[in-house]
Amino acid sequence: PATCNADLSEWWLPAAAEHAIAIMEEVDAIIIHTLKSIGCDLDDEVNGLKQFTSENIVEAAACCLNHIDPDKYKFSKKLPAQMSTRFRACADMAAACKELGFSDDIGYNQFLYTNESETRALFMWLVEKLPQDEAGGAAEPMGAGALLEARMAAA
């Protein structure tokens, strides 16, 4: 029996990992498509969130926040040159995310120091917060979070 379980796990674990990677790639593609559709200027070579630089994260977060509440948020899409101003701008974006209901820990570091899983969680949440006409136009949620939940339920 132990040998049988070991053989099964040798097959199942790599297959499960490949499936999870495929889902993350699909979610990343939806997030990037949505970001481009609201005016983020991402290079065509960027096809996953693991390729995001601090500049990409700040630009994309600023685009999202400015679209979520254009009367309240007017974030610059460019990182300031001076480091102290960078920290302040990123801290302000983090505070806006908290104010809008982002429940994970967030601070300037999520914008300045890239971490793929934290970046994905942030942008899945931001894309879900976009007005529906900008996030895809459908009456039902079509954001990255909804897709991920549906794909994980089907797995």
> Is pLDDT of 61 > 50?
yes
Q: What's the average model confidence in pLDDT over 106-135?
A: 90
Nearest CA to 119 out of 10, 36, 42, 24 is that of 24
- Here the tokens at position 136 are 């895809």
In angstroms, rounded to a whole number, what is the distance separating the alpha carbons of residues 63 and 69?
10
How high is the pLDDT of residue 36?
A: 94
Nearest CA to 110 out of 99, 100, 122 is that of 122
H/E segment holding residue 38: none
How high is the pLDDT of residue 1?
A: 47
In angstroms, rounded to a whole number, what is the distance separating the alpha carbons of residues 115 and 132?
27
Residue 146: band (very low, low, confident or very high) from pLDDT cuts 50, 70, 90: low
> Is pLDDT of 137 > 50?
no
